[in-house]
Chains A and B, each alone.
Chain A
């Protein structure tokens, strides 16, 4: 049972346009969310995070939006650049504010973003 779902295995976007990657979760105890980026033959690297007390977090070209009522978050990249081509993983954890959470992150299956020149 996937608690974190990324329903688009791949996404193709033209360079300079906005990339929007989506993620849904089912566990209402999740209160901290992260996005990781992964290039081939490398480990995932942290990109941006958001806690459940916020609905938006921005870092340069990257913005993450959280809609708690819909149990949905999205990552916006604008403008998209060729170096953004990678697999993006959404991840979540529980217990930051409610207590009793477990260590470790629950990951989605990833979305392969392809930036077209």
Chain B
């Protein structure tokens, strides 16, 4: 059963701490996205990769957020230092190939920063 896997599912941390979220895209999918869901903004695109190369991270606060793909089976999103306003659900999604078409989402990582 092919699916996008995200860890952790839930994370509670204190302001100033480093947080790392991980994503395993569907095997063979070469485009990986990070989205953030908040009540105010809905689903916002933070960054995405194609064939492991970062293509767009304009949606991400650069001073504290970083996204990487160490290999084709792992994408990471790191926040350092974390702030209460980062509290949200972070979704990873993947897709094979073409510019268009549906994205397959993971179940999300719910982050709470106290």
What's the A-B contact tally at a CB cutoff of 8 Å? Answer: 57
The reply to whether A43 and B105 form a contact with Cβ atoms under 8 Å apart is: yes
With a CB–CB cut-off of 8 A, which chain B residues contact A43?
4, 91, 93, 105-108
Interface extent on B, as a size class? Answer: 20 to 34
The docked-state distance in angstroms from the alpha carbon of A93 to that of B108 is 22
* B3 CB, nearest partner CB in chain A, Å: 9
With a CB–CB cut-off of 8 A, which chain B residues contact A107?
35, 42-44
> B50 interface residue, CB < 8 Å from A?
yes
Considering only residues 5-55 of chain A, those with a C-beta below 8 Å from chain B are: 32, 34, 36, 41-46, 49
The docked-state distance in angstroms from the alpha carbon of A89 to that of B42 is 9
The docked-state distance in angstroms from the alpha carbon of A42 to that of B105 is 9
Which residue of A is nearest B58, CB measured? A102
State the B residues within 8 Å of A (CB): 4, 31, 33, 35, 41-45, 48, 50, 55-56, 91, 93, 99-100, 102-108
